[in-house]
Amino acid sequence: MNKKITVLPGDGIGPEIVAEAIKVLDRVAEKFDHSFDYTYVDIGGCSIDKFGTPITDEGMEKCKSADSVLLGAVGGPKWDTCPPAIRPEKALLAVRKELGLFANLRPTRLFPQLADASPLKKEIVGNGIDLLIVRELTGGVYFGERRTEEVNGELVATDIMPYSEHEIERIGRVAFETAMKRGKKLASVDKANVLDTSRLWRKTMHRLAEEYPEVEYSDILVDNTAMQLIKNPTQFDVLVTENMFGDILSDEASMLTGSIGMMPSASLSSGTLGMYEPIHGSAPDIAGMNIANPIGTILSAAMMLRYSFDMAAEADAIEAAVNAVLDEGCRTGDIMQEGMKKTSCSEMGDLVAERI
């Protein structure tokens, strides 16, 4: 099978970690008789430096014409003074909008080998954490109307948080379908005791729940969710929520694993096109030092195979290889433990690729 992948290495450690994911994908192609064609596009700060814009029209078209997109990371202090309209992060919002990427899947998995790295006690994490947050990505307060105006002699800022039934229904279906493929358990996160958008969210989710009687469904308020993620994270399988709540909760959940460098993500459209990236930033302070953790990016590539290319066996092979390398005691600096073997970014990519 031949697939076209547009690669967006980006800034900071982005090129380093993406190179290791490509190394692993090439091994998968060799092992399973596939071919992956890569097209590289500048995005973020490096694109601003070259072209004066965080992503060019040509680059965007290459994203649209691909079977999938693999992203490293964008941004850094170098571009903090750029005008808001051309900040590196604007490219991510543009890609999400142009590709229709409305569903963000953020798994949080605490590998048993790294249980000591979690900030939670062992009696809380048990045999490991394995949950998935499904975040609506193109609606809500981040995309609503915003304004700042003077009222009675002082500035007043307003941000509008709109949601329509169809936006809620489509992300809800993604969540239910995902739950059907996992533990058939879904919690919908809202603030229905305060917000009209959340009351519409809950009403729509209840209607959808009738179509999925096999899924154990529940509602949970966002503030309680934040507490329960710390108190008892193993109670959750799939969580679904709107854009801002999902942004905050997924970052909280990621730290349950002890390192944000381990966490992949997928942003999906209504078709098979998706963008896959680790959830961490560009870490410019360690760029070029070959010490970044590429596992989050490698696991993002596995998600690409699973969700966009329907290559479940290939995705399983990558995840098994990561487990094998961790079993052997290999650790990048962010997950280093006493008695383990300190491993560079490129060495980690080599080791995972060799074990597929």
pLDDT tens digits, one per residue of 211-245? 999 999 999 999 999 999 999 999 999 999 999 99
Chosen CATH of 119-257 out of 3.30.70.890, 1.20.140.10, 3.30.565.10, 3.40.718.10: 3.40.718.10
Positive or negative, the CA dihedral 330, 263, 267, 208 is positive
Rounded to two decimals, what is the model's pTM? Answer: 0.89
CA distance 333 to 324: 18
26, 130, 219, 251: the active-site residue = 251
- When pLDDT is cut at 50, 70 and 90, the band that residue 128 belongs to is confident
* pLDDT digits 0-9 by tens, 246-289: 999 998 998 898 788 899 999 999 888 999 999 899 999 999 99
- Partnered with residue 149 across adjacent β-strands are 156
Supply angle C-alpha 61, 10, 287, rounded to 5: 170
Report whether pLDDT(81) > 80.
yes
217, 247, 307, 334: the active-site residue = 247
pLDDT at position 219:
98
**Catalytic annotation on 191?**
yes
How close are the terminal C-alpha atoms of the chain, in Å?
Answer: 18
* pLDDT digits 0-9 by tens, 293-340: 999 999 999 999 999 999 999 999 999 999 999 999 999 999 888 899
Q: Which CATH superfamily is domain 1-101+280-356 in?
A: Isopropylmalate Dehydrogenase (3.40.718.10)
In the chain, CATH 3.40.718.10 sits at 1-101+280-356, 119-257
49, 116, 223, 285: the active-site residue = 223
**Catalytic annotation on 223?**
yes
**Catalytic annotation on 219?**
no
142, 185, 219, 350: the active-site residue = 142
Buried-state track 122-148, b at ≥16 Cβ within 10 A, e below 16: eeebeeebbbbbbbbbbbbbbbeeeee
Residue with the two structure tokens 């730290």: 255
* pLDDT digits 0-9 by tens, 154-171: 999 999 999 999 999 999
**Catalytic annotation on 130?**
no
Report whether pLDDT(111) > 90.
no
**Catalytic annotation on 247?**
yes
Report whether pLDDT(174) > 90.
yes
**What share of the chain has pLDDT > 90, as a percent?**
85
4, 191, 219, 350: the active-site residue = 191
